[in-house]
Amino acid sequence: MEIDPNSDRPVFKQIADHFRDLIDRGELAPGAALPSEAQLSRTFGVAGGTARRALEVLRSEGLVVTEHGRGTRVRERGPMLRLASQRLTRANRAAGLGGFAADMRSLGLDYKQEMLHLGEVPAPRRIAERLNIEEGSPVFVRRRRMWGGGEPMQLADSYYPLDLIEGTPITEENAGPGGSYARLEERGHRLASFREELQARMPSEDEKKALRLLPGVPVVALVRTAIDTGGRAVEVFDSVMSADKHLFQYDFAAD
Amino acid sequence: MEIDPNSDRPVFKQIADHFRDLIDRGELAPGAALPSEAQLSRTFGVAGGTARRALEVLRSEGLVVTEHGRGTRVRERGPMLRLASQRLTRANRAAGLGGFAADMRSLGLDYKQEMLHLGEVPAPRRIAERLNIEEGSPVFVRRRRMWGGGEPMQLADSYYPLDLIEGTPITEENAGPGGSYARLEERGHRLASFREELQARMPSEDEKKALRLLPGVPVVALVRTAIDTGGRAVEVFDSVMSADKHLFQYDFAAD
DNA sequence: CTCCTCTACTGTTATATAGGAGTTGCCGGC
DNA sequence: GCCGGCAACTCCTATATAACAGTAGAGGAG
């Protein structure tokens, strides 16, 4: 293994390249330890700060994780949740579980939801646009954090026009069997279609904490609008999830 | 503006927080310059390295961009390309442009495609699985970089089973009017459906360079499989695009 | 007026050093 | 055997310093 201090490529990047290579080629398996900063600095003959920067590069790429006092190891990837558009078809919804619960069940992970907020709030722009109402007018929100397999999986806010949920268990902690979509349909709002909009970005500090994200892991923001047969938007589902735990799949016709 | 060196929160993060705040609140508009490293270090009374790290945090969050010799400025966001699933319907395809060209046209951006590779390659696992063939068996690939508005927008590799493209212009630089889908249909493979799979992650070094990605910008990897009326996968489209320039929209029925 | 060069700014890489803080395991006292 | 404490390891923050490289503008030579 050669480091050329006179190369065009900075030393810290050369060191990062070296370990990226080992990881890509599988010679450093997930869970395997990388040399400590001090060891790196000795074996490559560079200053501590330079060794540290090399590891920093790999961290920011999400290839390794480092724990204070314990060292740096190749990142282990958990299972990926495949979110297919078919999960929201009526047949699947009829199975009795809300969307997320069913997803987790299919992976064999235990499921939990933690209610963060339940009540009326002024509609943010993004939500108001999709519900076809004035920005700032009151809407009902169910704001929660979904857990699967003991880890936080997504932050999910569901927004409803007030007139649709009055007197339903949607305003309660437990929206009842089949989730809130079932309640809306019981109330005569048969769901006709969904629109999902996805965007990937880096997480905010808060999101990082709430989702226990490792450095270098982006998030996917998914906004789903549920439309009833009358063409009315009856729910906007606004969520943020860890990109390394979710894969999205959509099937659609070619004509 | 106060920095507390004895705080629990590291100094460099406190400085980053300060500017993140200014940016979030709009007091530092997109394009506005942040103080130089030297200035920061003077006004906050910290070492140069510390000031530098603060800016590094903001860079990694994608909030600012810095140019060597010119300083650090609040990031300006370009327009977002909205990729709706309807863009691939037959009606839209019939308009005569390939998918990407039509997308760019709709935004009023000029379009260019740069061919990177054209020829047979052994099928990587990911592709073979979707084409229902053996991993490593030969497939034809069109590997290109798509440009829009003078900027690289995506890396796109299209893979085809060999028997489908022999003697068609798909093997040439220019696949002809309507793109390769039109050629496949002319040949009797009427497209029935698409499957798109999306996943967000941080880019590799190569992708960063090829897409001219700013630090802290994730990419979205989109794999589209085109299925003909006989149920055969006739193309796998494997692409990588900058997350901050693309938004994905899917509409689908609720039953 | 145009072109070049010099200079003062900007960020970039690398060094050396120091003290702090989390983790682990060993070893001795009980 | 158990427990406490210490030592040796890990990473983390911060300082100071140096040389290098890209940018932009001022000012002089032609």
Instruction: Tell how strand B246-253 and strand A138-148 pair up.
Output: unpaired
Q: Which nucleotide is nearest to B10 (CA to C1')?
A: D13
Q: Which residue of A has its CA nearest to B229?
A: A254
Q: Which of B154, B202, B214 to mutate to test the interface with A (most CBs of A within 10 A)?
A: B202
Is there a contact between B209 and B178 (Cβ–Cβ < 8 Å)?
no
Q: Which residue of A has its CA nearest to B63?
A: A202
Name the residue facing A200 among B89, B200, B250 (closest C-beta): B200
Residues in chain B with CB shorter than 8 Å from the CB of A85 are: 250, 252
The shortest C-alpha distance from B221 to chain A (Å) reads: 10
Query: Could you give phi then psi for residue B64, rounded to 5 degrees?
Result: -130, 160
Q: pLDDT value at position A7?
A: 87
| Residue B171 contacts strand D, CB under 7 A | no
- Over the stretch A222-251, which tens digit does the pLDDT of each residue have? 999 999 999 999 999 999 999 989 999 999
The integer distance in angstroms from the CA atom of A83 to the C1' atom of C13 is: 44
CA–CA distance, A123 with A159 (Å, rounded to integer) = 8
Q: pLDDT value at position A252?
A: 94
Residues in chain B with CB shorter than 8 Å from the CB of A220 are: 200
The shortest C-alpha distance from B43 to chain A (Å) reads: 25
The tokens of B54 are what? Answer: 């603060």
Chain A within 8 Å of B94 (Cβ-Cβ)? no
Residues in chain A: 255
CA–CA distance, A161 with A184 (Å, rounded to integer) = 11
CA angle, B223 as apex, A194 and B101 as ends, to 5°?
85
Chain B within 8 Å of A92 (Cβ-Cβ)? no
Q: What percent of chain A has pLDDT over 90?
A: 58
Tell me the three state secondary structure of residue A34: coil
Chain B within 8 Å of A47 (Cβ-Cβ)? no
The pLDDT profile of chain B, 255 residues, written as one tens digit per residue, is 678 888 889 999 999 999 999 998 999 999 999 999 999 999 999 999 999 999 999 998 889 999 999 999 999 887 788 888 888 888 777 665 566 777 777 777 778 888 999 999 999 999 999 999 999 999 999 999 988 877 888 999 999 999 998 888 888 888 777 778 888 888 899 999 999 999 999 887 778 888 888 877 899 999 999 999 999 999 999 999 999 899 999 999 998
- Cβ-Cβ contacts under 8 Å for A147 (sequence gap 6 or more): A111, A112, A113, A114, A153
Q: Note whether B249 contacts A196, CB cutoff 8 Å.
A: yes
- Over the stretch A66-123, which tens digit does the pLDDT of each residue have? 999 999 999 988 778 888 888 888 877 765 556 677 777 777 777 888 899 999 999 9
Q: Which of residues 59-88 of A touch strand D (CB under 7 A)?
A: 66-72
Q: Which nucleotide is nearest to B35 (CA to C1')?
A: C10
Residues in chain A with CB shorter than 8 Å from the CB of B180 are: none
Q: Note whether A89 contacts B196, CB cutoff 8 Å.
A: no
Chain A within 8 Å of B197 (Cβ-Cβ)? yes
